[in-house]
A and B are shown apart, each in its own frame.
Chain A
């Protein structure tokens, strides 16, 4: 049985619907702590004199790109902005309270450096017909996130594949 998508959702397909600005500047201390957690000794994240041969200066670990637009868990002056707001919006409108990431694709175009200010926008690329999975009934959807630096240069792009469902 097919359930029609609400117009509120179909009108989002292919259009930018949410934007995130950078709550913090890119910080060497954060990326080096991350590298420490995964025991990554690549000198372009750690050693200025080695990094300069390749990237002019130290660069952030590429895996952290999406994290630079994540808000603080707590802030003294405002409520937290959820990451991937479009995903949470879809869950709410479709009454699918649970969601998991099923696949991630990310392309890296420009190295991220200390002091960069990253922003992003989110676009719904596709949404499936209703599905029944082991987890429950729901739909799959794909959200494209494009990341920019402070010069408005696209630094990377990510496609997140989700399953939204209820038991």
Chain B
């Protein structure tokens, strides 16, 4: 596959509660993610900001929501360009840049993703995901052992570098 496929847009509304919960349940105790008083008065920030793990969680969710629960994420890379605060609507704009078919029931998708707030890109990500795009769903990508899986990731990421 050579032509880019534009994926559906999804949205996520941030709140004080979900930013705090994302940080606390990822065991990230840094006050800029959970303490509004610290973030505003000591961190010189407009409010608490979303942590890396929560953002990565949302990136992975975007892909698995689109391609199904069995989608196996191989690699995620992302850059944070602007802090993400509560009461914002995040828009996820993804595209499939390429597809590498390694077997009848396994393809690797190379996906790029821009996360926007009001048309401004706040983060950009690249994802390598293993999916079964056939109607037959006998062999899940998760059944591949970790050594073989790693060799696929190396192969696919080397092709893209």
Contacts and interface: CB of A to CB of B under 8 A. Distances in A.
Given A108-B74, A108-B75, A70 B28 contact: yes
Interface size bucket, A side?
A: 35 or more
Contacts of A37: 18, 21-22, 25, 54
Interface string B94-137: 00000000000000000000000000000000000000000000
A103 B161 CA distance: 17
B19 to A, nearest CB: 8
Interface stretch (A5-13, A61-69, A86-94, A138-146): A61-69
A155 B73 contact: no
Contacts of A64: 26, 53, 57
B26 A67 contact: yes
Given A38-B18, A55-B142, A109 B150 contact: yes
A117 to B, nearest CB: 15
Summarize B's interface: helix, strand, loop or mixed: helix
Contacts of A62: 60, 73
B21 A109 contact: no
Contacts of A108: 72-75
A61 B73 CA distance: 10
Contacts of A104: 52, 56, 76-78
Given A67-B27, A153-B146, A103 B57 contact: no
A105 B29 CA distance: 21
B159 to A, nearest CB: 15
Interface string A32-48: 01111111101110000
12 contacts: A30-B25, A38-B18, A53-B140, A54-B140, A55-B142, A62-B73, A63-B56, A102-B79, A104-B78, A106-B76, A108-B75, A154-B150
